[in-house]
Chains A and B, each alone.
Chain A
Amino acid sequence: MKDLLSVIMLSGIYGLLSASFFVAMDAVDVAFTEASVGAGISTLLMLVAITMTGRSEHPVRHKPVLALAVVIITGSLLIYGTLDMPYFGSADAPVHTHVAPRYINDSMQEVGVPNIVTSVLASYRAFDTFGEVIVIFTAGMGILALLSVVRRPEDVAKIDSLNDSMHEQHLILRVVAKILIPFILLYALYVQFHGDYGPGGGFQAGVIFASAIFLYAMLFGMSTARRVINQSFIQLIAAIGVLLYGSVGVVSLLSGKNYFDYSALSADPIAGQHLGILLIELGVGFTVASVMVIIFFNFAGRRENSQNLEYNNKENKKV
């Protein structure tokens, strides 16, 4: 397919389909994340990117035979490799033998949270998740370094007026969005704080929260959204999320326990676990939501700048 728009739309549909795969295979938390990330945010970011890089692909001149041969050889080797794998759904596969039975049998006594995925994510493997949060934070910093633009004040006014003229026409969408956005934000908070008991948690909540802000920014214009959400404030929130996460670990270190051992947080170990998981999920939610917002705002800001440049060039030609 030469049209990148349809390629991206298809990949969004593919994201939604794979989310339904995950539901069919009992991974509700993962399905939740994939539905909001794969079908929502990644499609949106790719669309913003193609508005800047051009919509169509140049025809390929070289022959794809070599690539096809490489792919077929690798694929058949991989299929040959699967012949020794345990069958789909078998309960005695090696993956189910090491730590997993302990998580399933003991997590209620040790952590006291019904959702095992949350207790593994935020308690047993909290250090691991800390690393993931730092990777997300670093990606946010990378986007800032690559795409952030400094504007002159006279450009800002021009971009704002361009923006407003572009968004005035979507009246129905704006009214519907105004009704929807509070509910999306509320739902994000529910997912955030109910993650102990049902599917959900900081990662999903952060993404849903950010998508409400994206919706607002798309329909009311970037300049309005920028007035509502201060950029340096959101960068501060991203850093605070990581700091909150790390400092929970430091508190348990200071009270003589291991890093991320939440029993240090309270006299009752189960209450300590609950508090620790709550704080950590909050840190994750802060960082994920604000990094997503940073990514989107920088992409869109870059795009506005290039539009403004084009506009200026046209004006100059006329003169």
Chain B
Amino acid sequence: MLLGLYNYWIVVVLMMVGFYIVIAHGNLIKKIVGLSIFQTSVFIFYISMAKVDGGTAPILAEGISQYSNPLPHVLILTAIVVGIATTAVGLALAVRIKEAYGSIEEEEIQKKDNEDC
């Protein structure tokens, strides 16, 4: 029953989409969007590992014995907020690069750097 692994395959596909955007596009903003897709795929990977069949959300209540694993939830919860903070730093760098080079295309930035040497 290989189909039971479908959650990992979705994660791999999403991760590769993000990876492709990062390496194939020269635009820095697009690279950041790609990185965030990559990041979300890792989030989905963790959360799908925490899922237990027949379990519910990990909030204790009467009459429920099966809960999903809370530990990956904690890790990802904080990772999402840290992720947006680091994404913001990335965007800030892109803005500064635009101001310094007049472009956020990788090729043009490299061309300018080569001219300066």
Partners in one complex: yes
Are B27 and A58 in contact (CB-based, < 8 A)? Answer: yes
A100 is contacted by which of B6, B7, B71, B88 (Cβ under 8 Å)? Answer: B71
Asked if A93 CB lies within 8 Å of chain B CBs, one says: yes
Flag B27-49 by CB within 8 Å of A: 1 or 0 each. Answer: 11110110011001001100111
Q: Count of chain B residues with Cβ under 8 Å from any Cβ of A?
A: 79
**Among A18-26, A166-174, A253-261, which stretch is in contact with chain B?**
A18-26
Closest to B102 in A: A54
B6 is contacted by which of A18, A88, A198 (Cβ under 8 Å)? Answer: A88
Measured between beta carbons, the chain A residues less than 8 angstroms from B86 are 135, 139
Flag B8-33 by CB within 8 Å of A: 1 or 0 each. Answer: 11001101100110011111111011
Measured between beta carbons, the chain A residues less than 8 angstroms from B79 are 132
**Roughly how many angstroms separate A70 CA and B73 CA in the complex, as a whole number?**
31
Flag A282-299 by CB within 8 Å of B: 1 or 0 each. Answer: 000000100110010011
Closest to A136 in B: B85
Are A203 and B57 in contact (CB-based, < 8 A)? Answer: no
Flag A76-112 by CB within 8 Å of B: 1 or 0 each. Answer: 0011001101011111010110011001100110000
Are A27 and B57 in contact (CB-based, < 8 A)? Answer: yes
B77 is contacted by which of A29, A64, A70 (Cβ under 8 Å)? Answer: A29
Are B93 and A95 in contact (CB-based, < 8 A)? Answer: no
Are B44 and A50 in contact (CB-based, < 8 A)? Answer: no
Asked, given contacts A74-B19, A299-B95, whether A4 binds B58 with beta carbons under 8 Å apart, the answer is no
Measured between beta carbons, the chain A residues less than 8 angstroms from B73 are 27, 29-30, 117
Q: Count of chain A residues with Cβ under 8 Å from any Cβ of B?
A: 92
> Chain A nearest CB: distance from B68 CB in Å?
4
Asked, given contacts A11-B37, A45-B88, A146-B92, whether A104 binds B81 with beta carbons under 8 Å apart, the answer is no
Are A75 and B69 in contact (CB-based, < 8 A)? Answer: no
Are B91 and A49 in contact (CB-based, < 8 A)? Answer: yes
B92 is contacted by which of A42, A85, A143 (Cβ under 8 Å)? Answer: A143
Asked, given contacts A132-B82, A299-B95, whether A45 binds B68 with beta carbons under 8 Å apart, the answer is no
Asked, given contacts A42-B36, A104-B58, A135-B82, whether A96 binds B44 with beta carbons under 8 Å apart, the answer is no
Measured between beta carbons, the chain A residues less than 8 angstroms from B85 are 135-136, 139-140, 291, 295
Are A103 and B71 in contact (CB-based, < 8 A)? Answer: yes
Flag A213-230 by CB within 8 Å of B: 1 or 0 each. Answer: 000000000000000000
A96 is contacted by which of B7, B20, B52, B83 (Cβ under 8 Å)? Answer: B52
Are B58 and A115 in contact (CB-based, < 8 A)? Answer: yes
Measured between beta carbons, the chain A residues less than 8 angstroms from B68 are 25-27
Are B93 and A146 in contact (CB-based, < 8 A)? Answer: yes
Are B5 and A83 in contact (CB-based, < 8 A)? Answer: yes
Measured between beta carbons, the chain B residues less than 8 angstroms from A136 are 81-82, 85
**Can you offer 23 A-B residue contacts whose CB atoms are under 8 A?**
A11-B37, A22-B47, A25-B68, A30-B77, A30-B80, A33-B77, A53-B29, A53-B94, A54-B104, A71-B16, A79-B8, A82-B9, A88-B48, A89-B52, A91-B55, A104-B58, A104-B70, A115-B58, A115-B59, A116-B70, A139-B88, A143-B92, A295-B85
Please name the 3 residue pairs, one residue from A and one from B, whose CB atoms are nearest each other, closest first.
Answer: A87-B4, A139-B85, A89-B53
